[in-house]
Amino acid sequence: MDHVEGHDGPNPTQDEITSKCIRMQQDDKKAAVHAEIARVNQLPSNSSYAVHRMRVLHKLLHLMSIQMSASQEEELELLFASLSL
């Protein structure tokens, strides 16, 4: 029987593997948003760009934390793409 490293029970199902990959992608995206927040915090606080970017980043974190429909998730992906994170 094949054994997956770090997995003590029976082999993981495809759904478990997919779920783990999605969680890893979400963690990577959250890390990218937090890194961008740190970068924007270095900008002058009276910068209209910095204020707007920070609002967008915080909204993005909020959206990532709630349950969404497939179309809402697609919108979120488009937002990520437009921010170039």
> Would you kindly state where each structural domain of the chain is located, as residue ranges?
14-83
The backbone region for 3, taken as left when phi is positive above 0, alpha when psi lies in -120 to 50, beta otherwise, is beta
Structure tokens at 49: 């760009």
What is residue 4's predicted lDDT score, i.e. its pLDDT? 47
What is residue 27's predicted lDDT score, i.e. its pLDDT? 82
> Which residues, including other chains, have CB under 8 Å from residue 45's CB and lie 6 or more apart?
51
**pTM beyond 0.85, yes or no:** no
Q: In the block, which residue shows the tokens 């740190």? A: 38
9 against 80, higher pLDDT: 80
What pLDDT digit, counting tens, does each position of 35-73 carry? 999 999 999 989 999 999 999 999 888 888 887 788 888
Percent over 70 (pLDDT), the chain? 78
